[in-house]
């Protein structure tokens, strides 16, 4: 199978293909982050790195003979937790179709943020015409969901990573792989990673003078560190308290290590070794939950 992975990151799609038992003949990756490329190449030296998706010409893409197109385009503009501006130009024009995007791109318009890269996925999909495709994205707002569905020609499958991991990570998956259903809940809880009775507190953003947030049994979504890198933290107290003082929370918390974040994303432990911890947190948060992608891809064999 020839695979093209857009926004490839640490090549989580390659791990998922391997885990699903799908044989790969050629794996082409489009990625621009040098640290993610370094980790992907370390683990899979045969990956063919293609660089920036916006620079991949139509003529070049037509030569690849792709069987599977996969990717998770940047989501901040579509997320219920993000800016909700969608895909827009820097002067505020909403981009709602591939034709409009290509016209604006040809005319030299600049785009706000990275959510416009969804249209690059659609562009590539229309050019390479793969047998199968898979796009992962956040639980987008009602305003933008019909646009995704129309552009991709399918409605999404909703899967929370909590079914296959110790992390709450609700995501939409658009695919033409037939007969994909929900995975069975494996019942994986935080104590499989952190030991007996862990409490995850204030996962990102440091401690604030507010009532601490406490999550039992499942981690909140692991996300990319921002602003120089917010380090996730965990409480390992073993006793649930409805009211916790800030002083108590600080005293009983410690950093979540990259290897633990890898487990929350069902990555192989140590997969991201070789770069700084900040870069490890960032690429782990930007990536797939591997076992969810492997579950979806397993239906190719059926």
What secondary structure, in 3-state letters, does 51-81 show? CCHHHCCHHHHCCCCCCEEEECCCCCCCECC
pLDDT at 143: 86
Report field, pTM of the whole predicted structure over 0.75:
yes
The percent helix, strand, coil of the chain (3-state, each to 5) is: 30, 20, 50
pLDDT at 232: 61
pLDDT at 13: 98
CA distances to 14, 19, 137, 265, 285 from 128, rounded to whole Å, are 19, 25, 21, 30, 28
Q: Specify the domain boundaries for CATH 3.40.50.150 within the chain.
A: 2-186+289-300
The set of residues, in sequence order, having a beta carbon less than 8 Å from that of 16 and lying 6+ positions away, is 288, 290, 291, 293, 294, 297
| pLDDT tens-digit profile, the chain (302 residues) | 999 999 999 999 999 999 999 999 999 999 999 999 999 999 999 999 999 999 999 999 999 999 999 999 987 777 655 566 778 899 999 999 999 999 999 999 999 888 999 999 999 999 999 999 999 998 888 888 999 999 999 999 999 999 999 998 999 999 999 999 999 999 998 888 877 666 655 555 455 555 555 555 777 787 775 433 445 666 555 454 555 566 666 676 677 889 989 999 999 999 999 999 889 999 999 999 999 999 999 999 87
User: For residue 206, how many other CB atoms are within 10 A of its CB?
Assistant: 9
Q: Distance between CA atoms of 170 and 241, rounded to whole angstroms?
A: 27
DSSP E strands, 181-286: 199-201, 214-216, 233-235, 253-255
pLDDT at 246: 63
Degrees (nearest 5) of the Cα angle 281, 88, 125? 75
CA distances to 164, 177, 188, 200, 215 from 161, rounded to whole Å, are 6, 19, 10, 17, 16
pLDDT at 62: 96
CA distances to 218, 221, 222, 265 from 168, rounded to whole Å, are 6, 5, 8, 10
Question: Among 203, 27, 223, which Cα is nearest to 138's?
Answer: 223
Q: Which own/partner contact pairs does 195-198 have at CB distance under 8 Å and 24+ positions apart?
A: 195/236, 196/238, 197/237, 197/238, 197/239, 198/234, 198/235, 198/236, 198/238
Question: Among 292, 273, 293, 264, which Cα is nearest to 13's?
Answer: 293
Q: Distance between CA atoms of 10 and 275, rounded to whole angstroms?
A: 12
Question: Among 169, 131, 150, 126, which Cα is nearest to 266's?
Answer: 169
pLDDT at 44: 98
What residues pair up with 170 in beta bridges, in sequence order? 160
Q: Distance between CA atoms of 219 and 242, rounded to whole angstroms?
A: 18
pLDDT at 240: 47
Q: Distance between CA atoms of 93 and 108, rounded to whole angstroms?
A: 13
- Report the CATH number of the 2-186+289-300 domain: 3.40.50.150
């Amino acid at each position: 199978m020839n695979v093209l992975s857009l926004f490839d990151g640490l090549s989580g799609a390659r791990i998922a293909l391997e885990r699903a038992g799908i044989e790969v003949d050629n794996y082409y990756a489009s990625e621009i982050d040098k640290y993610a490329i370094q980790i992907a190449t370390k683990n899979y030296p045969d990956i063919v790195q293609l660089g920036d998706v916006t620079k991949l010409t139509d003529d070049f893409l037509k030569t690849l003979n792709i069987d599977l197109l996969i990717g998770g385009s940047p989501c901040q503009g579509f997320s219920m937790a993000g800016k909700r501006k969608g895909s827009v130009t820097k002067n505020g024009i909403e981009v709602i179709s591939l034709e409009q995007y290509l016209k604006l791109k040809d005319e030299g318009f600049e785009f706000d943020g990275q959510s416009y890269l969804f249209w690059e996925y659609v562009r590539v999909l229309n050019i390479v015409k793969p047998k199968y495709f898979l796009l992962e994205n956040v639980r987008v707002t009602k305003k933008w969901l019909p646009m995704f569905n129309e552009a991709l020609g399918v409605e999404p499958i909703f899967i929370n990573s909590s079914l296959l991991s110790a992390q709450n990570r609700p995501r939409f998956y658009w695919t033409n792989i037939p007969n994909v259903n929900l995975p069975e809940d494996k019942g994986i809880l935080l104590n499989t990673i952190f030991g007996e009775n862990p409490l995850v507190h204030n996962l990102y953003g440091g401690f604030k003078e507010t009532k601490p947030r406490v999550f039992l049994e499942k981690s909140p979504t692991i996300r990319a560190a921002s602003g120089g890198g917010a380090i996730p933290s965990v409480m390992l107290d073993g006793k649930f308290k409805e009211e916790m003082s800030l002083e108590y929370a600080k005293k009983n918390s410690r950093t979540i290590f990259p290897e633990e974040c890898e487990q929350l994303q069902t990555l192989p432990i140590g997969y991201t070794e070789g770069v700084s911890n900040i870069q490890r947190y960032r690429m782990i948060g930007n990536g797939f939950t591997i076992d969810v992608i492997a579950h979806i891809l397993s239906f190719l064999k059926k």
